Amino acid sequence: MMRFDEKSGNFYCTELGRIASHFYIRYSSVETYNEMLRRHMNDSEIITMVAHSSEFENIAVREEEQQELETLVRTSCPLEVRGGPGDKYGKISILIQVFISRGSLDSFSLVADAAYISASLARIMSGLFEICLRRGWSEMSSLLLGYCKAVDRQIWPHQHPLRQFDKDISQDILRRLEDRDADLDHLHELDEKDIGALIHYFPGGKDSENDHIYHSELFILTKKMARGGPQKINFTVPLFEPHPAQYYIRAVSDSWLQSEAIHAISFLNLTLPEVGLMILDEIHLLGADRGPILEVIVSRMRYISSQTERAVRFVGLSTALANARDLADWLGVSDMGLFNFKPSVRPVPLEVHIQVRVTISCSYSWSLLMFSIMANV
């Protein structure tokens, strides 16, 4: 979470440390997540990992709670409870699932423990989502974002999305929609009569190859923007050789469950341009802040050229240089390609300032004489 620079003696916060600080997650919990968090996990493993958070270390197992916990496993826990009610982490897992399921508790101690767990559950889920997002894990980011919304709405990701409007729709109708697997796309294609018949009667009868996120950003769509027509978002993603068959663009709501859109972009007939010439302006700034970027670009292009056996021509432009020969060697430029222009060919006259420092010794004091010579070349 922190890095120590031996040369400067300074401490630097890592990306993981920033996430933990933002969501107030203990460092011991972050250590636990580093051990248990994997690129591919199922729902039960996620709940178990959250149950191991050090924020819940004060939760205790009590003998008088066992019967009620066993009942809760059967009635309010759709996921596997690892360790069972008699295990500390099993109990926490049960209470997490009861909270999302909106289950009822009778024991006062369980009510107190459930309130204590629910107070930290949202920020822990959000922190785990940010960790997976920074690591570029597409599947896990999507799964944990779903659980962030599940904790906020107290609705399981697998339940019907219309349960988010349970104040306006009766529980009986919601159960029938779930029994008939009537998702939103199916309901959108039906008219009012068909939906009524569906409710009251049973019917008669990410890069697609790699689980990696290449770009992510938060986009706020207001009512005014939605009414104004299509919105444009510009972003850049990398392409590799051989390029994949397609990329997926996925827009997911951070508030509503199962509110997302996905669009596939095919690369089957894509022809990438061949880079035969690269112009590097102000290459004399190689030692400045942009220096590392120039080094990466040139090194990458030279590596691609060596692997593809396609020559790449570099043209470097700079102001006066004292080590032009060294720079040319780094670019792979021979003596025939190295040009050093005199100031007389400049379109704008060059002003040369010469500053001389002369020290004159006197018997009582030191005097400093400075003068400059200006010449228009």
pLDDT given at position 355 = 73
Could you give the CA distance from residue 321 to residue 356 in angstroms, rounded to a whole number?
22
pLDDT per position as a tens digit, 253-304: 888 888 888 888 888 777 766 778 888 888 888 878 878 888 888 888 887 7
pLDDT given at position 56 = 95
pLDDT given at position 52 = 96
Spans of the chain, pLDDT less than 50: 201-205, 363-377
pLDDT given at position 198 = 64
pLDDT per position as a tens digit, 334-345: 888 888 777 677
pLDDT given at position 238 = 76
pLDDT given at position 209 = 60
